[in-house]
């Protein structure tokens, strides 16, 4: 296996542009610019790969062909409605099919590079559109690129793919698409569906017939900070992954669990997000011989958070993590100020938060995070042969 890291990138990925909308492609542009200015993309062993659009054969592994036709047709029909398109969340935009297919193709290229041994790790920060369903758009997502890429891996012979979603919103589309497939484990940490879109992702959602235990949901109460989030992650994710024994780890790394994100209510820091990426890499190294595919996802603090979080992700995927105290380069600050006038441009790659945590124990007076941990462990651990009450599991 190659020790290289593939970063799938081309400026054409910025064409996934919903207009005056929270999902602004400037966040991806500023991520790549920051990673370049800090030398992350110039590291030895990093290969930039241009994406190609996923064709209909690939897309229809996940999406209904009638839905593909609707996505193509919608920009030509001024009063188009249906399939989740033409809403405030998913407005129709010019060349919507082409831009969405390119995002999907970029994630497939990342997955194929790792599966075929051309790279140990691969990243597509423009991907992670995890809400799209088989027959409709949802939550800013037209085509579900993680699901398309995972389906491609299954077609190539993969028998156990683990998908870990750390976006603040439940990874509902990926879960639903693989609900009945025991070859795909989906794990999602997210803000409780009682408070946030899409309203799914409860602990008792554990997989369909024949795939029981392959959907794992960890809904967290609003206001959770790094320590609680890390406590929940480490109380569940490593144990479940070890029980499943994946051949490849696929992660959706939405940055919208940050305390500054305008669309949600968790209170993570960039430092906590960096710690999560390090934990995910370590799990891929332990369980999958390092095979790790990472995408972006949500994240709507376009200047203050997303470029720093995903530059940390790129650094972790390509080698040594960046020192949190690293200054953001002056040239990048100028670009950010030009692209988004009036926004606060961060001076450093840290929020000055210690993301340490106390490991979970099944004793003592449970707080809201511990209750969430206990509910998920109770729902899914027995299905995987694990003891929900044993902190060693």
- Active-site annotation, residues: 131
Cβ(237)–Cβ(187) below 8 Å: yes
Q: What's the rounded Cα separation, in Å, for the pair 170 and 188?
A: 6
Cβ(309)–Cβ(294) below 8 Å: no
Asked if residue 291 has a cis previous peptide bond (ω within 30° of 0), the answer is no
The torsion angles phi and psi of 145, rounded to 5 degrees, stand at -65, -40
Cβ(123)–Cβ(110) below 8 Å: yes
Q: What's the rounded Cα separation, in Å, for the pair 107 and 128?
A: 8
Total count of residues recorded for the chain: 393
Cβ(254)–Cβ(297) below 8 Å: yes
Parallel/antiparallel/unpaired status of strands 121-124 and 184-191: unpaired
User: DSSP readout, 75-129?
Assistant: GG-TT--BTTBSSSSS---TTHHHHHHHHHHHHHHHHHHHHTTS-SEEEETT---
Sheet holding 161-165, edge to edge: 46-49, 5-8, 121-124, 292-295, 248-252, 161-165, 184-191, 215-220
- Classify residue 345 as left (phi > 0), alpha (psi -120 to 50) or beta: beta
Helix/strand/coil for 73: helix
- Number of helices (H), then strands (E), belonging to the chain: the values are 11, 8
């Amino acid at each position: 296996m190659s020790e290289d890291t593939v970063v799938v990138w081309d400026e054409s990925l910025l064409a996934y542009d919903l207009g005056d909308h929270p999902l602004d492609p400037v966040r991806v542009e500023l991520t790549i610019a920051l990673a370049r200015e800090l030398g992350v993309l110039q590291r030895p062993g990093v290969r930039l790969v241009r994406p190609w659009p996923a064709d209909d054969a690939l897309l229809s592994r996940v999406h209904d062909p009638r839905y593909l036709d609707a996505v193509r047709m919608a920009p030509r029909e001024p009063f188009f409605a249906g399939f989740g398109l033409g809403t405030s969340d998913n407005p129709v935009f010019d060349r919507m099919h082409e831009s969405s297919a390119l995002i999907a193709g970029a994630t497939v290229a990342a997955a194929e590079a790792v599966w075929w041994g051309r790279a140990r790790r691969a990243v597509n920060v423009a991907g992670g559109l995890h809400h799209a369903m088989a027959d409709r758009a949802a939550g800013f997502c037209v085509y579900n690129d993680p699901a398309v890429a995972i389906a491609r891996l299954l077609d190539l012979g993969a028998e156990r793919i683990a998908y870990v979603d750390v976006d603040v919103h439940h990874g509902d589309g990926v879960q639903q698409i693989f609900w009945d497939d025991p070859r795909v484990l989906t794990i999602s940490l997210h803000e409780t569906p009682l408070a946030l879109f899409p309203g799914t992702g409860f602990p008792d959602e554990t997989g369909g017939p024949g795939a029981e235990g392959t959907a794992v949901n960890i809904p967290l109460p609003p206001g959770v900070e790094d320590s609680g989030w890390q406590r929940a992650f480490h109380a569940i994710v490593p144990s479940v992954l070890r029980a499943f024994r994946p051949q490849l780890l696929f992660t959706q790394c939405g940055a919208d669990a940050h305390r500054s994100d305008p669309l949600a209510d968790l209170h993570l820091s960039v430092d906590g997000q960096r710690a999560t990426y390090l934990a995910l890499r370590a799990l891929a190294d332990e369980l999958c011989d390092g095979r790790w595919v990472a995408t972006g996802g949500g994240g709507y603090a376009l200047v203050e958070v997303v470029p720093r979080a995903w530059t940390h992700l790129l650094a972790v995927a390509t080698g040594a993590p960046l020192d949190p105290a690293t200054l953001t380069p002056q040239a990048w600050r100028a670009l950010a100020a030009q692209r988004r006038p009036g926004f606060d441009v961060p001076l450093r790659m840290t929020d000055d938060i210690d993301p340490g945590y106390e490991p979970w124990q099944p004793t003592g007076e449970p707080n809201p995070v511990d209750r969430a941990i206990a509910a998920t462990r109770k729902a899914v651990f027995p299905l995987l042969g694990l003891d929900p009450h044993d902190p060693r599991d």
